[in-house]
Amino acid sequence: MQEPVKSAELAAAHTKEASAKRPAEATAIDGRPGEGNGSPGSGSRENGPDGLEGKPSNFIWEIIEEDIKQGVFHRQIHTRFPPEPNGYLHIGHAKAICVDFGTAARFGGVCNLRFDDTNPTKEDTEYVESIMEDVRWLGFDWEDRLYYASDYFEQLYEYAVQLIKMGKAYVCDLSPDEVREYRGTLTEPGRESPYRNRSVEENLDLFRRMRAGEFPDGSRTLRAKIDMAAGNINLRDPVLYRIQHATHHRTGDKWCIYPTYDFAHPLSDAIEGITHSLCTLEFEDHRPLYNWLLETLQIPEPPKQIEFARLELTRTVTSKRKLRRLVEEGYVRGWDDPRLPTLKGMRRRGYPPEAIRDFCERLGVTKTKGVVAIEYLEHVVREDLNRRALRRMAVLRPLKVVLTNYPEGQVEWVEVENNPEDPQAGTRRVPFSRELYIERDDFLENPPPKFYRLAPGREVRLKGAYIVRCNEVVKDPATGEVVELRCTYDPATRSGGAAAAGESGEAGEAGGRRVKATIHWVSAGHAIPAEVRLYDYLFLTDDPDEGGDFIANLNPNSLEVLTSCLVEPSLADARVGDRFQFLRHGYFCVDPDSEVAGSTGTETAPRTGEQGEARLPRLVFNRTVSLRDTWAKVQAKVRSD
């Protein structure tokens, strides 16, 4: 999936801007170690508010700083992001990626991408492709450091042999059930396996034959010989190797024994020269085992495991099981459904990767488990898009307006700014004519207090054009539904012109009226049809598990598809992935479905490109996030009064 040129440029500008604003975090934001940054660590710190004695911004950096001061490692700071290729990446992984890559960058080190592929029955290359794409999309670069735990199988095997020779590991014939029985419980110690004291020779022979495929799945394991009475269950002779006659997605049928995570992880870290192995809290209990292996095998300057709290969001599920259920049972349209917290979903929805990174960085890194309000993510996304997104006018629920005093057939191209936040974004011309469409919500026949948009006899400004007055309301005689507004415009009020009423400094002229509202519009004869998909939270409760069943908390209205939208003609050249702010609505992103003509029945008139470049057969927009809506609050308050 390619980032459109337009977005890429904006992204670059954004990064620059962000860096300028927060020099101390520049390298973390950039996330690209060793790129145009001689000494990211010290360099950025000197510019920070705290100077050289500045305080680390999280406990992990504090530890690393101390390690550097103590000279613990005689190599550069080296981290890794170690996903198992058995699923798609989601927002939770985004934080881990930011922490792993960001930490390395902070200290001028590097971060590896390593697939933890030690369980052939659950993994697939489809996932490795997808994961690489997502990490890249997020903006991180592992350069030439792409690794697989499966690349180390031979070395890991040798380490296992070494343990056996040291009398620190043994082949155990207990069945899975027996192993569990012997393990004891949380409060009772385990019992030693009857196979625990086999001779080194016998263990070596058995382990070799395990590898040779002489035994069936589950019949034997290689176990570390530690302490069956340990309070930490991970130390009760943990399994290091299991027999699985399964085809591995990378090593094929070369192996029928596979190392467990507990064995493979610390040693893979060691092999890669990792200095700091950052992972989530649930691995705290594994650290003693992690260290035991490194110590026992006498790994010099062993990597240090540090755990931090994973990211949890309200109204969101990230467990593989739950995500799979949502997808497989059709509650959403696929792994990239914009309502999902998968990176694919977020990308399709229009969340900029820069915003996701910014979000993760602003949350900080701690050991405190928490659930972040999804509103915070939305805030960060709005903040980002407000700076960069080009403004466009789109009428989602059209209501026809005829300007009775505007000459038939006349068209004026009014100039409107592309982004008031960014003068550099320039302006564009939008056609204005006698027949227009405005938002249905912008007219109310019986306006409540504080509603200051259009109503019979009232005036509003049409963005970038004139002030209009509503004189007549045309209704469908059968249903009573308002089908058209007949208005008049005031030629003296055109935007930008010296005569733009009352707003050129000379207070109170042009009839002394000061419109209280400016609304968006499109010209009936020029507008382009479009489909707009409005997303709401997937769940009705902050905690999807409230009440026990997350399916029961699904929001039945999480997707609203509007197929009669009209957008301004400049959007004709939009490309998939482009992001815009639709004035007064929110931020929207062109959906890939735009490339498939009429797949959901939205008939878009065939359009031909003017600059040789093929236009999309139709336009489908996803609402990334709405604008803050103060009016909604006012309404709510009025209602409750």
Partner RNA sequence: UGGGGAGUCGCCAAGCGGUAAGGCACCGGACUUUGGAUCCGGCAUACGCAGGUUCGAAUCCUGCCUCCCCAGCCA
Binding status of residue 103 toward RNA by CB under 7 A = no
For RNA, the closer of residues 332 and 527 by Cβ is: 527
Task: Compare residues 540 and 627 and give the one whose CB is closer to RNA.
Answer: 627
- Which one among 92, 109, 238, 569 touches RNA, defined by CB under 7 A? 238
How far apart CA 524 and CA 420 sit, in angstroms, is 25
**Residue 385, token pair as written in the block:** 């898009």
The nearest distance, CB 488 to RNA, in angstroms, is 17
Binding residue for RNA, selected from 554, 583, 590, 616, defined by CB under 7 A: 583
Q: How far is the CB of 355 from RNA (least distance, A)?
A: 13
320 belongs to the catalytic site: yes
The stretch among 18-26, 41-49, 470-478, 633-641 that binds RNA (CB under 7 A) is 633-641
Q: Where do we find the tokens 């086999």? A: 198
**Residue 361 Cβ vs RNA, minimum distance, rounded to whole Å:** 11
Regarding 622 and contact with RNA (CB under 7 A), the answer is: no
Please report how close the Cβ of residue 607 comes to RNA at its closest, in angstroms: 26
3-state secondary structure 268-321: HHHHHCCCEEEEEHHHHHHHHHHHHHHHHCCCCCCCEEEEECCCCECCCCCCHH
Give the whole-angstrom CA distance, residue 378 versus residue 356: 10
Q: Which two tokens stand for residue 152?
A: 């180390």
Instruction: Work out which of 15, 19, 76, 232 binds RNA, going by CB under 7 A.
Output: 232
Burial readout 233-272 (b: 16 or more C-beta within 10 A, e: otherwise):
ebbbbbbbbbbbebebbbbeeebbbbbbbbbbbbbbbbbb
Q: Which 158-217 residues touch RNA, going by CB under 7 A? A: 174-176, 179-180, 183, 185-187, 217
Stretch that binds RNA, among 513-521, 551-559, 567-575, 611-619 (CB under 7 A): 513-521
Task: State in angstroms the smallest separation of the CB of 174 from RNA.
Answer: 6
Q: What are phi and psi of 621, to 5 degrees?
A: -115, 140
Shortest distance, CB of residue 519 to RNA, whole angstroms? 7
Q: Which is nearer to RNA, 235 or 554 (CB)?
A: 235
How is residue 454 annotated by DSSP?
A: B
Pick left, alpha or beta for residue 632 (phi over 0 → left; psi -120 to 50 → alpha; otherwise beta): alpha
Binding test (CB under 7 A) with RNA, winner from 63, 161, 425, 500: 500
Minimal distance, residue 399 CB to RNA, in Å: 15
- Is residue 345 within 8 Å of residue 339, measured between CB atoms? yes
Can you count the helices (H) and strands (E) in the chain?
16, 25
Give whichever of 215 and 618 is closer to RNA, judged by the CB atom. 215
Size of the site for RNA (CB under 7 A): 97
**Closer residue to RNA in complex, CB, 175/600:** 175
Euclidean distance between CA atoms 401 and 524, whole angstroms:
9
| SS3 labels along 426-438 | CEEEEEEECEEEE
Does residue 70 bind RNA (CB under 7 A)?
no
Provide CB contacts within 8 A for 479, sequence distance 6+.
none
> Which is nearest to 470 in space by CA: 450, 445, 492, 451?
445
Among all chains, which residue has been given the structure tokens 């690794």? 147
* Residues from 323 through 382 that contact RNA (CB under 7 A): 362-373, 375-376, 379, 382
| Cβ nearer to RNA, comparing 14 with 584 | 584
Binders in 105-134 for RNA, by CB under 7 A: 116, 118-119, 122
Residues 537-576 that bind RNA (CB under 7 A): none
Q: Please state the closest distance from residue 457 (CB atom) to RNA, in A.
A: 16
- Residues 288-327 touching RNA, rule: CB under 7 A, are 309
495 near RNA, judged by CB under 7 A: yes
Question: Smallest gap, in angstroms, from Cβ of residue 573 to RNA?
Answer: 21
Q: Going by C-beta distance under 8 Å and a sequence separation of 6 or more, which residues neighbour residue 74?
A: 301
Q: Say if strands 221-224 and 239-243 run parallel, antiparallel, or are unpaired.
A: antiparallel
Residue 463 appears among annotated catalytic residues: no
- CA-CA-CA-CA dihedral for 96, 98, 104, 108, to nearest 10: 180
Per the annotation, the verdict on 475 as an active-site residue is no
Name which of residues 251 to 270 contact RNA (CB under 7 A). 258, 260-262, 264-265
Piece in contact with RNA (CB under 7 A), picked from 22-30, 56-64, 333-341, 425-433? 56-64
Task: Report the C-alpha gap between 176 and 281 in whole angstroms.
Answer: 27
Q: Which of 208, 320, 322, 387 is catalytic?
A: 320
Query: Computed from CA positions of residues 64, 67, 68, 74, in that sequence, does the dihedral angle turn out positive or negative?
Result: negative
Q: Report if residue 415 touches RNA, rule: CB under 7 A.
A: no
Please identify which residue in 15, 162, 219, 319 interacts with RNA, judged by CB under 7 A. 219
* 529 interacts with RNA by CB under 7 A: no
Question: Which C-beta is closer to RNA: that of 469 or that of 618?
Answer: 469
> Which letter does DSSP use for residue 39 in this model?
-
Helix, strand or coil, per DSSP, at residue 140:
coil
CA 382-388-389 angle, to 5 degrees, is 75
CB of 563 to RNA, least distance (A): 23
Q: Which is nearer to RNA, 313 or 527 (CB)?
A: 313
Closest to RNA by CB, 43 vs 56, is 56
Residue type, 99: V
Positive or negative CA dihedral for 155, 157, 159, 161?
negative
| Touching RNA, residues 423-482 (CB under 7 A) | 450-453, 461, 463-464
Nearest CB to RNA, comparing residues 151 and 595 = 151
Residue with Cβ nearer RNA (565 or 616): 565
Structure tokens belonging to residue 387: 């700076």
Residue of 25, 45, 80, 84 with catalytic role: 84
Please tell me which residue in 22, 145, 191, 310 is annotated as part of the active site. Answer: 310
From the list 9, 17, 35, 62, which residue makes contact with RNA (rule: CB under 7 A)?
62
Q: What is the spatial distance between Cα 510 and Cα 2, in angstroms, rounded to a whole number?
A: 50
Residues classed as catalytic: 84, 310, 320
